[in-house]
Amino acid sequence: MTQAQMMSLIVHPGDPDRKLVPQHYETAAWLAGMVPEVFREITRRDPEVLLRSDVATANVQDRATLVEMLLKRCDEEQTLLHWDWGNYKRYRKLAHPTLTDQLRPYLCDSTKSPIARQVAIDIVGACELQTLQNDLADVALDPAQPLRVRVDATSAVARIGDENTKGRLKPLVTGETGDDPEDQLKGYGLQAVWPKHFTVEELFAALTLPKRRNFIGAYKLFLQEDLALHLQPADLPIALR
């Protein structure tokens, strides 16, 4: 079959934008993995569908184009890719040699939409791009940035940052960097700095009651799981006081 014939089977005939039929996403991704021309056409129409395909087998240019189209669509159309946890696990397939250069403008440019920036941060985390860890820390520490972008950047540093970069996040724990209504910055900051960059005295001095008692976020999880895990026997008198 020709490319046009194949596309006619998976594109919605009544959609003026010629998007793919949602029930055919899995089939479209499977087809794209076998036919490069279909892969490129879907990249242009419905790029997020290709996250379900074997993107890792595409050539470098195709992967770079897919990243460009995903971020562009999130920036222009506010596509909610960020809220699909399944996509996060798929982002690691997007790795290619110039990915750092593609993502840095979205991390650093505050004129980009918060959703596009969050997706870029998720890709950095999934692909473990330590080359961007200091850019992430800069965003996390900047009170002028949108809070949700800062929270994602802090979480990414806690996961993939080296110890020097994690240590930069201490001000988030002590509340020196702007409003944190749900203690998310504090929670991810603590995950980054404890126990390598915080003494036990500093840790307990920084602990407060959660601002939202019924919210299960990074801070509450830290209190329940991470805090005791790294306490040493010599720390117990301080902890008990």
| Mean per-residue pLDDT over the chain, rounded | 92
Pairwise CA distance, residues 22 & 25, whole Å: 5
Phi, psi (rounded to 5 degrees) for 11: -95, 140
pLDDT band at 38 (very low <50, low <70, confident <90, very high): very high
The string of pLDDT tens digits covering residues 172-217 is: 999 899 999 999 999 999 999 999 999 999 999 999 999 988 899 9
The residue whose two tokens read 């965003």 is: 139
pTM of the full structure: 0.89
The string of pLDDT tens digits covering residues 87-138 is: 788 899 999 999 999 999 999 999 999 999 999 999 999 999 999 999 999 9
Average pLDDT on 55-66 reads 87
Phi, psi (rounded to 5 degrees) for 196: -70, -30
Average pLDDT on 149-161 reads 97
Q: Is 197 helix (H, G, I), strand (E, B) or coil?
A: coil
Cβ neighbors of 28 (< 8 A, separation 6 or more) are: 10, 20, 38, 42, 46, 49
Structure tokens at 36: 């490069």
Neighbour-count burial for 100-114, b at 16+ CB within 10 Å, e otherwise: bebbbebbeeeebbb
Compute the 3-state secondary structure of the chain and give helix, strand, coil in percent, each to the nearest 5: 70, 0, 30
Instruction: For the chain, give every domain's residue range.
Output: 1-53
Q: Indicate whether 156 pLDDT > 60.
A: yes
Question: Cα angle at 160 between 159 and 164, to 5 degrees?
Answer: 105
pLDDT at 58: 82
Spatial contact of 86 and 53, defined as CB atoms under 8 Å apart: no
Compute the radius of gyration of the chain from its Cα atoms. Answer: 21
